[in-house]
Amino acid sequence: MSTPLRLGIAGLGTVGTGVVKIVRQKANLLAERAGRPVTITAVSARTRDKDRGINISSYAWEDDPVALAKRDDVDVFVELVGGSDGPAKAATEAALAAGKDVVTANKAMLAHHGQALALAAEDAGRVIRFEAAVAGGIPVIKALTEGLAGNEISRVMGVMNGTCNYILTRMQSAGLPYEDVFEEANQLGYLEADPTLDVGGIDAGHKLSLLSSIAFGCEVDFASVELEGIERITIEDINHAADMGFRIKLLGVAQLTGRGLEQRMSPCLVPANSPLGQLEGGTNMVVLEGDQVEQVVLRGPGAGEGPTASAVMGDVMDITRGFRIKTFGRPAAALTKAKPAKAATPAPYYLRMALDDKPGALAKVATVLGTAGVSIDRMRQYMHDDSTAPILIVTHKTTRDALDKALSDMSALDVIATDPVALRIESV
């Protein structure tokens, strides 16, 4: 029998436990598909005696993931600890230095340190694989680096955070306000320990920056991703969008233009009858546009034990078979430093605000928009109380710069009762 590929797994949470189950339960299938067995020799986690529903007594134990990464009986270090720095980064660096390949689900670490780690891997003649870091069980990294390798990618777009998609679709289906659904999601265990990673768009922004690097051949630049979360989305926004035939999604968009690399993660309106508009619950979707294939839509579970462990094992199987590829699809030294750029493609925008109920208030807003070069397509005024009047405006196509100028000038008006909410209406 061929020599087994030996795994050392750091982190035995939901995903790590799922990986152990797959290696155990599908040992024969894995060996048949890879041409050699896949085994686990050692593991590491914060707590040794925790009940995980699996027996880990047959594996060597290391309290320190760095020690695990250096073990002679580990061929592939599987990093499932998480966190952009600390033990995850230290152990990954140690594994590469010790001549181990690395499989990780850690989008934060790669978003902040991907270039340096990719260079270290290539210097050591090793690989870093990270399918599980983006969109759960969807093989989007494989699609970009392999299936679409003959394409010039023009745009990457998608819903990449299942928690946000759950919150937004649950608000619509149940007619519940954001605060209620946020608490519901928290009780169900959908939110990160720091919820702003989810609802603030940070988690999804990490993923978008990784896809941008592969798609456009540039160094990972998470710092330049324009981030806006879903915290300001109200049930009124959800209902207004539905009335116009749209749904609100936390949408990531990346494209390389003559002005530079645009990367934005923000709530947008998308057509309700589009694939993105029909996306429900915690499901993810990534849309890839290339010059040869035009558009490819990938849809699947964005998180959870099975889907994410499946992605980890896909990477492990490639290494087992001897298939090796550069971290971001091409040599790290060849990746360029892209110039950050704001979205310049004109689009219509949805604006929601409340005005003081005074004569001429709406005229002042319309004047500010017109002066900035933003024209109004349609406008609605909803039921108001004794002092304020809720206003909904949909603009004709305009640039974000022009809209930002109008919003800035509006802040100086004496009739604005609440800060305006501005959402791009995205063409998908």
CATH topology of domain 5-133: Rossmann fold (3.40.50)
In terms of DSSP H, where are the helices of 251-339?
A: 305-321
Question: Going by CATH, does the domain composed of 141-301 fall within 3.30.420.40?
Answer: no
- Say whether 207 is catalytic: yes
pLDDT at 249: 97
Question: Facing residues of 40 across strands?
Answer: 7
How far apart are the C-alpha atoms of 135 and 283, rounded to whole Å? 9
The tokens for 8 are: 């050392």
Architecture of domain 349-425: 2-Layer Sandwich (3.30)
How far apart are the C-alpha atoms of 285 and 279, rounded to whole Å? 8
Number of neighbours of residue 306 by Cβ within 10 angstroms: 16
Residue 262 φ then ψ, to 5°: -90, 125
pTM over 0.85: yes
- Closest-CA residue to 71 (of 94, 89, 48, 87): 94
Dmax of the chain from CA atoms? 85
- Closest-CA residue to 338 (of 226, 259, 261): 261
pLDDT at 124: 97
- Please give the chain's pLDDT, 428 residues, in tens: 589 999 999 999 999 999 999 999 999 999 999 999 999 999 999 999 898 999 999 999 999 999 999 999 999 999 999 999 999 999 999 999 999 999 999 999 999 999 999 999 999 999 999 999 999 899 999 999 999 999 999 999 999 999 999 999 999 999 999 999 999 988 888 888 889 999 999 999 999 999 999 999 999 999 999 999 999 999 999 999 999 999 999 999 999 988 999 999 999 999 999 999 999 998 999 999 999 999 999 999 988 899 999 999 999 999 999 999 999 999 999 999 999 998 878 999 999 998 988 888 889 999 999 999 999 999 888 766 667 888 899 999 999 999 999 999 998 888 998 889 999 999 88
pLDDT at 1: 55
pLDDT at 74: 98
pLDDT at 387: 79
Which residues, 6 or more positions from 349, have their beta carbon under 8 angstroms from its beta carbon?
394, 395, 398, 403, 422, 423, 424, 425
pLDDT at 373: 95
Look-up: residue for tokens 């592969």?
214
pLDDT at 390: 86
Domain limits, the chain: 5-133, 141-301, 349-425
Amino acid residing at 263:
Q
Of 89, 207, 249, 326, catalytic: 207
